[in-house]
Structure 1
Amino acid sequence: MTNSLPLAAVVPAGGESRRMGRDKATLRIDDGAGPTTMLERVVSVVGARCAPVFVVAAPGQALPEVPAVILRDDVRGAGPLPATGRGLRAAADAGLSHAFVCAVDMPRLTTDLIDVLAGPAQRLGADVVLAWDGRDHYLAGIYRTALHTHIDALVDGGARSMRALVDSVDTQRIVMPEQPALANVNTADELAAMSPPRLR
C-alpha cells in the first residue's frame, strides 16, 4: 500500500562524474521500455510518487526535457550538500514538509523503496530517514525540508558532504538488504553489467 506522506523529490544532477568520464544525467540507457537518459528514468520514477520534483543542475548544464522544476547550483562542483539544500528550500516553499532526495545515477530506483522509507519518516518524526544496507545511502533518503536552513549554515562553515548533515541531525537508518533499487552506477562497466540498462 502506498504511504500517504506527501513528498517532494530532489534530484541533485550536477555532479562531475569523474569515474564515469561524462555527465551521468544525460547518459543514454535502455530501461527495458526503450532508450532514455539516466535523468529521465529517475524523474519518471520519483514523479510517480512525489510532487513537485526538483532537479538541481550545474550552471550551464544541458539537460533533457523532464517533468520537473530545474534549479541551478550557484557554482559548479560544490557537491551534493548545497544542491540538496537548494532543493529542500524549494520544496519547503512549495508547502511540503518532507522530500525524497536521490541520486541521478539510480536506474533501478522504485516507488516501493520510497514508500519503505516514507513509513518510518511519518512515524518516527526524524529529520532524516536513510536506507542502510551496510552503508549509508545519503542520496536515497527522506529529509525534512526545513533542514535547508541547517544546510546553509553547514555550507557557510565549509561543509560539503552529506555526512556532515546526517551526523548533525536526528537521522534514522532503515536496515534493508542490498538490492538493485539502491545501486548507484559510477562507471561504464557498472552500467554495462546491469540488465537491461546499457550504454547507447
Structure 2
Amino acid sequence: MGRDKATVAIDDPAGPSGQTTLLERVVSIVSRRCSPVFVIAAPGQALPAVDATVLRDEARGVGPLLATGHGLRAAADAGIEHAFVCAVDMPELTTEIIDTLAGPAQRLGVDVVLPWDGRDHYLAGIYRTGLHGVVDRLIDSGQRSMRALVDSVDTQRIVMAEQAALTNVNTEADLSALIPPKFSQRIQ
C-alpha cells in the first residue's frame, strides 16, 4: 500500500468522527472474543490508542513469525493456553471466524488451527501459546515464515468457503473492493 496498514483510515459510522483505522477496527472485533488483546508493533511505529496491550518487536523487517512469537509469549505469560493470531489488514474479520476455530483448538489438543479456503490463512488462526519456544528456535535457525511454524507442529485445518472475513488487504484497490460502499478509505 506504500504506507503502514495499521494506520490506514477508513470511513466507519461506528468509529469516532465516522472514521477508524484498520488497527482500531480489528482490535474492536478481536476484543469481543479475546482478552487480553496484544498488538505487536514495529520499533517506533506510531499507533492510535487502542484497548489492547501494545508490545514492540525488537527488529524491523523480520516478518510475522517474530511478532507471532512475541505475542504468544505475552499470552502465555498472562496464563492463556490458546491465542487467536491475526493480521491488522483484515477489515472484514468476524467473531464467527474466531468461534469456528476456537472449538477445535480446545477439543483436539493440536498446536494450531487454521482456516483453509484453498489456502492456509496463517494470520487468522488459533495457536497454542507454548509455541513461542518453537518460534524462537525457528528464528534462531534463520526461518521467517509462518509456514515453517505450522509445518513443524501439529496443525489442524478447518475447511471454509472463501469469504471476505478472511481477506487481507495489500493494496488500496483491495481495500476499496472489500469494504462495502458505506465505508471508504481515506489515505492521508
| Superposition TM-score tier, normalisation by shorter sequence | over 0.9
In the TM superposition, what whole-angstrom CA distance separates every residue of 1:75-108 from its partner, at most 9, and x where no partner exists?
1111000100000000000000000000000000
SS in 2 for 1:191: helix
For structure 2, which runs of at least 5 residues remain unmatched after alignment?
none
Indicate which of 88, 96, 102 corresponds to 2:80.
96
CA distance in 2, matches of 1:79, 1:128: 19
Alignment of 1:7-156 (within 5 A): 20-33=1-14, 34-156=18-140
Q: Name segments (4+ residues, structure 1) moved above 4 Å.
A: none
SS in 2 for 1:130: strand
TM-score (normalised: structure 2): 0.94
Residue 17 (structure 1) aligns with:
none
Residue 175 (structure 1) aligns with:
159
SS in 2 for 1:141: strand
CA shift at 1:139, angstroms?
0.2
CA distance in 2, matches of 1:31, 1:157: 43
CA distance in 2, matches of 1:31, 1:197: 6
The answer to whether the 8 A contact 1:191-1:197 is kept is no
CA RMSD between the two structures: 0.8
The answer to whether the 8 A contact 1:140-1:182 is kept is yes
TM-score (normalised: structure 1): 0.89
For structure 1, which runs of at least 5 residues remain unmatched after alignment?
1-19
The answer to whether the 8 A contact 1:107-1:197 is kept is no
Residue 14 (structure 1) aligns with:
none
> Greater helix share, 1 or 2?
2
CA shift at 1:192, angstroms?
1.1
Identity of aligned residues (%): 73
CA shift at 1:198, angstroms?
2.0
CA shift at 1:141, angstroms?
0.2
